[in-house]
Amino acid sequence: MTTAADPTSSRAFATIGIAPTASKPERPMLARDADSMYWMARYVERAEHVARLLLVNSNVLIDVGDVAPALQTQHWQGLLHILRVPALPEPKSEDQRDIAARVAQHLTLDAENPNSIVSCLTRARENARGIRENISTEMWENLNTLYWHLRGDDAHSRFEESPDDLYRSVMTGSMLFQGLTDQTLAHDQRWLFAQLAKYLERIDVTCRVIETKFNILQVNQQTLESPIRNIHWMAVLRSCCSIEAYRRNYVGEMDPMHVVGFLILEKNFPRSIRFSLSGALAAISVIRAGTQVGAIDPAERILGRLEAQLEYAEVAEILSIGVPNYLQRIQAGINDAALAVQKSYFLH
Amino acid sequence: MFDHYEVNGLFDEVFESSGRPRSHYSSLVSRLKALGHPAFERRRRMTDVLFRNQGITFTVYSDARGVEKIFPFDLVPRIVPANEWDLIERGLVQRITALNLFCHDIYHGQRILKERVIPPDLIYGAKMFRREMFGVKVPRDIYIHICGTDLIRDNQGTYYVLEDNGRTPSGVSYVLENRAVMKRVFSNLFGAYRVRAVEDYPYNLLQCLKFIAPNHVDNPSIAILTPGIYNSAYFEHSFLARQMGVELVEGRDLLVDKGFLYMRTIAGLQRVDVLYRRVDDDFLDPLCFRPESALGVAGLMNAYRVGNLALANAVGTGVADDKAIYPFVPAMIKFYLGQDAILPNVRTLICADEADRKYVLEHLHELVVKSTNESGGYGMLMGHQASKEEREKFAQMIQADPRNFIAQPVIQLSQHPSLIDDHFEGRRVDLRPYILYGEKVIVMPGGLTRVALRHGSLVVNSSQGGGSKDTWVLEEESAKST
């Protein structure tokens, strides 16, 4: 035995004043803080989706716009549906007739619209401000800077000049925020609630993107030539931040069934529904294990069942049920899980 | 930038006379001159962005748009040499010691009233006197754990205590953030000086809070109670919680059960042993004080009185920083400690006293009148600047409720250069050091220097358009030779 020389021995630790089992039992976080952590993460993720959808949609319609004006309107309406915007406000003047400009305006800097990017980031920041002692300075400064980027006096002129730049800065800002969350926060309850929220939000938006676009493309199947159709399916993948990963998997082949299968069932890609479900389930399981030992949490049960379904699902089966139907079931499950989380953890 | 700088017949912190800096400032002044205006201006803009992005803001009441504002930061640091600081430190330790003995006495034997050092009427008439605290044993007999004392200098450069803030003084977070920002944008200025560090304040505060934990607790659970994100000092509450690694709670997170205080967590109720409360007495417990308050916790005072919960500061300390009791602090020091006050008070007239009141009413145009329980520069009359109507209004208010007013002569506060447009001009300053009373008394070497940024103004409060400076307390008498 060479205890004295072994740096990992308890004696070696004792000499420098550190106990070998360094982890201290976790202090349970305030219910209100957990609530804010959850919504902060959801709103950041949501802002990123809105920005990406606007960016992708306006770009794809530059490519195919002239070919099918009716389809263009359908796409913008679809976007409103995905983002749960009931109706566009009436145009304020003649030159606001262009639906693309109106949707973009309404969804970006319109503070009256609760689903606009600026509203999402405002609420994310409000939540963060209430729990600054729970998040890292890096996370806070990143989110606060992003907030002022959209709230500052020059935000409107920058948006006019280049909407794309603004969307990109929101997307990058969100990803930076999530990276900082991973790398500057202990992976404890705080981090777990942020993970849970991020994945639930991602599943929800991804379901709605696929469902909406699938409906539009199915209705127009007869009239669309295949190059145009491919552009649209590529746009779906881009909207889910998945085009590059998909191409590597399927070597560029644009088959709608593969696209749907990839976005829903892919095991290893962080943007797929299955991956996100596993992430959400893992988070809630650890949270539950740390707070109510032995019990099974209602949200954990719902997410566990959904995950098992996706693990063994086949694309053919999804088609026989119908893609929209299948996705609506997942969404219903996600909503129930979100309510269950609220009930078990935030309403103490 | 200092070419047309004028001392204006006041005590100037930096210049003995126009063009002649005091020895401890000479190195700073020559560096600022060498820097030039454009470089200085660039750094000023940089600090604005830093403060905004870091969210270092305070909230102004009754401001319809944007509730958050940046506390204007003045980049020229104020320097306090070691010998001056030594005096300040000794004076503050003496003062907080006497004030704590006073609070204990008032809520127990009342020796100071029985021996007629302070008229009992003034105590019983104080809004912040808490009958509920009579006979209550507070942990370690400490009442004021955290004190922010406002110091000013007159035109001779003598330091005076203007007021003691022994309830929930704020501003310490700006001291720490100002220093952090200075180090970022002006690191080279520090080179010529040995500036004492202020960064251990949160650690010292935490030790102080642990020291007062109830006896039965080994590892106390500590939290800060805030009124919420709309409170003007919310940034500070959150800052201190982060610096100390303790929970920041609101009234709605808490409940009292069987005489113990709990917070609601995702794993159910968890006990709280020590509460650094940043909520006024009035709002702490609706069962005891204001019944409509939603900021506090029903039953909190019971948990406190039976000793299951420690509060910092104690309930009822407002009796010690009431402005009509302030004039008696030198007498308290004499009474409890047998010493003369090291830091003098500003001469103060008590309107509750008949002779004083008569004098005040006849000399309103040359006095500053203050309401005894307001803070933040509210409820104040600057007699020499006020209109006839304002003076008459105050005269009526004084006659209607004399106990609520005191008056002081106008003190010509010392001035310090601030950058105004492209050159330096003198602006009035005060100084608020922070004192912690735990196992020992610790005076933070530094403090918040507040600046009245409006030309000619004597009011430095942030709610009245004031800004702040970093305050450098030096290790030795003057600058290192460079």
Q: Show me where the domains of chain A are located.
A: 28-185, 187-217+225-348
Residues of chain B with CATH 3.30.1490.270: 349-409
pTM to 2 decimal places = 0.88
Asked if residue B460 has pLDDT above 80, the reply is no
Contacts of B267 in chain A (CB under 8 A): 28, 290-292
Asked if residue A181 has pLDDT above 80, the reply is yes
Alpha helices in B312-423 (DSSP H): 329-337, 354-362, 388-400
Quick: pLDDT tens for B150-171: 999 999 999 999 999 999 999 9
Q: Which residues of A touch B (CB under 8 A)?
A: 27-34, 126, 129-130, 132-133, 137, 140-141, 144-145, 148, 189, 287, 290-292, 345-346, 348
The rounded mean pLDDT for chain A is 88
Q: Across the interface, do B264 and A30 touch by the CB < 8 Å criterion? A: yes
Distance CA B30, CA A1 (A): 66
Residue B477 banded pLDDT, cuts 50, 70, 90: low
Residue B405 banded pLDDT, cuts 50, 70, 90: very high
How many C-beta atoms lie closer than 10 Å to residue A20's C-beta? 11
Distance CA B161, CA B155 (A): 15
Instruction: Identify the CATH class of B215-308.
Output: alpha beta
Distance CA B214, CA B310 (A): 6
Distance CA B173, CA B175 (A): 5
Which residues in B385-423 are b (16+ Cβ under 10 Å) and which e?
A: ebeeeebeebbebbeeebbbbbbbeebbbbbbbbbeeee
Q: Across the interface, do B253 and A144 touch by the CB < 8 Å criterion? A: no
Identify which of A217, A239, A255 has the alpha carbon closest to the alpha carbon of residue A58: A239
Question: Which residue does chain B place closest to A346, by CA atoms?
Answer: B266
Contacts of B252 in chain A (CB under 8 A): 32
Q: Which residue has the higher pLDDT, A303 or B461?
A: A303
Q: Across the interface, do B267 and A140 touch by the CB < 8 Å criterion? A: no
Q: Across the interface, do A345 and B264 touch by the CB < 8 Å criterion? A: no
- Point out the residue among A27, A34, A129 whose CB comes nearest to the CB of B229: A129
Q: Give B127-171 as a DSSP string.
A: TT--GGGTTPPPGGG---SEEEEEEEE-TT--EEEEEEE-SS---
Contacts of B265 in chain A (CB under 8 A): 28-31, 348
> How much is the pLDDT for A256?
87
Structure tokens, B11? 């005590």
Question: Cα B387 to the chain's mean position, in Å?
Answer: 29
Contacts of B246 in chain A (CB under 8 A): 133
Interface test with A, best of B266, B270, B273, B275 (most A CBs within 10 A): B266
Quick: pLDDT tens for B174-189: 999 999 999 998 888 8
- Point out the residue among B239, B242, B253 whose CB comes nearest to the CB of A30: B253
Question: Which residue does chain A place closest to B267, by CA atoms?
Answer: A291
Q: Across the interface, do B265 and A140 touch by the CB < 8 Å criterion? A: no
Cis peptide before B461 (omega within 30 of 0): no
Question: Which residue does chain B place closest to A343, by CA atoms?
Answer: B266
Asked if residue B213 has pLDDT above 50, the reply is yes
Q: Across the interface, do B53 and A348 touch by the CB < 8 Å criterion? A: no
Distance CA B283, CA B297 (A): 9
Distance CA A51, CA A116 (A): 9
Average pLDDT over residues B115-132: 93
> How much is the pLDDT for A49?
97
Distance CA B238, CA A134 (A): 9
Quick: pLDDT tens for A330-343: 999 999 999 999 99
The continuous run of DSSP H or E covering B427 comes out as strand B423-432
- Point out the residue among A34, A129, A348 whose CB comes nearest to the CB of B55: A129
Strand order from edge to edge, sheet including B367-371: B349-350, B405-409, B367-371, B380-382
Residue A231 banded pLDDT, cuts 50, 70, 90: confident
- Point out the residue among A133, A148, A345 whose CB comes nearest to the CB of B266: A345
Q: Identify the CATH assignment for B349-409 out of 3.40.50.2000, 3.40.50.11720, 3.40.1350.10, 3.30.1490.270.
A: 3.30.1490.270
Minimum distance, in Å, between the CA of residue B139 and any CA atom of chain A: 25
Query: Strands B423-432 and B448-452, how do they pair?
Result: antiparallel
Q: What percent of chain A has pLDDT over 70?
A: 89
Whole-complex ipTM: 0.80
Q: Which residues of B touch A (CB under 8 A)?
A: 52-55, 228-229, 234, 238-239, 241-242, 246-250, 252-253, 263-270
> How much is the pLDDT for A4?
43
Q: Across the interface, do A34 and B264 touch by the CB < 8 Å criterion? A: no
Asked if residue B25 has pLDDT above 60, the reply is yes
> How much is the pLDDT for B67?
59
> How much is the pLDDT for A222?
77
Structure tokens, B27? 């190195």
> How much is the pLDDT for B377?
63
Q: Across the interface, do A290 and B253 touch by the CB < 8 Å criterion? A: no
Asked if residue A64 has pLDDT above 90, the reply is no
Q: Across the interface, do A148 and B52 touch by the CB < 8 Å criterion? A: yes
Average pLDDT over residues B308-325: 95
Minimum distance, in Å, between the CA of residue A305 and any CA atom of chain B: 24
Quick: pLDDT tens for A2-50: 444 444 444 444 444 545 556 677 889 999 999 999 999 999 999 999 9
Indicate the range of A80-94, A125-139, A176-190, A269-283 predicted with least confidence. A80-94
> How much is the pLDDT for A141?
94
Question: Which residue does chain A place closest to B241, by CA atoms?
Answer: A133
Asked if residue B481 has pLDDT above 50, the reply is no
Quick: pLDDT tens for B436-455: 999 999 999 999 999 998 88
Question: Which residue does chain A place closest to B246, by CA atoms?
Answer: A133
Question: Cα A206 to the chain's mean position, in Å?
Answer: 8
Contacts of A148 in chain B (CB under 8 A): 52-53
Contacts of B53 in chain A (CB under 8 A): 141, 144-145, 148
Interface test with A, best of B265, B269, B276 (most A CBs within 10 A): B265
Identify which of A266, A294, A299, A265 has the alpha carbon closest to the alpha carbon of residue A282: A299
Contacts of B255 in chain A (CB under 8 A): none
Q: Across the interface, do B266 and A189 touch by the CB < 8 Å criterion? A: yes
> How much is the pLDDT for B64?
43
Residue B232 banded pLDDT, cuts 50, 70, 90: confident
Residues of chain B with CATH 3.40.50.11290: 215-308
Quick: pLDDT tens for A130-152: 999 999 999 999 999 999 999 88
Distance CA B169, CA B461 (A): 13
Asked if residue B60 has pLDDT above 70, the reply is no
Q: By the 8 A CB rule, do B155 and B10 touch?
A: yes
Q: Across the interface, do A29 and B264 touch by the CB < 8 Å criterion? A: no
Asked if residue B422 has pLDDT above 90, the reply is no
Report the Cα–Cα distance between both ends of chain A, in Å, rounded: 53
Minimum distance, in Å, between the CA of residue A258 and any CA atom of chain B: 41
Minimum distance, in Å, between the CA of residue A160 and any CA atom of chain B: 23
Q: Across the interface, do A132 and B242 touch by the CB < 8 Å criterion? A: yes
Q: Across the interface, do B268 and A144 touch by the CB < 8 Å criterion? A: no
Q: By the 8 A CB rule, do B59 and B10 touch?
A: no
Q: Across the interface, do A129 and B270 touch by the CB < 8 Å criterion? A: no
Q: Across the interface, do B265 and A31 touch by the CB < 8 Å criterion? A: yes
Question: Which residue does chain A place closest to B247, by CA atoms?
Answer: A133
Contacts of A345 in chain B (CB under 8 A): 266
Cis peptide before B313 (omega within 30 of 0): yes
Minimum distance, in Å, between the CA of residue B411 and any CA atom of chain A: 40
The continuous run of DSSP H or E covering A170 comes out as helix A163-184
Contacts of B247 in chain A (CB under 8 A): 27, 30, 33, 133
Q: Which of A202-211, B12-21, B27-36, B288-297 ranks highest by mean pLDDT?
A: A202-211
> How much is the pLDDT for A67?
61
Quick: pLDDT tens for A78-133: 899 999 888 888 776 666 567 888 899 999 999 999 999 999 999 999 999 999 99
Q: Which residues contact residue A176 at a Cβ distance below 8 angstroms, ignoring those fewer than 6 apart?
A: A142
Q: By the 8 A CB rule, do B345 and B330 touch?
A: yes
**Sign of the CA dihedral B340, B343, B346, B352?**
negative
Minimum distance, in Å, between the CA of residue B258 and any CA atom of chain A: 18
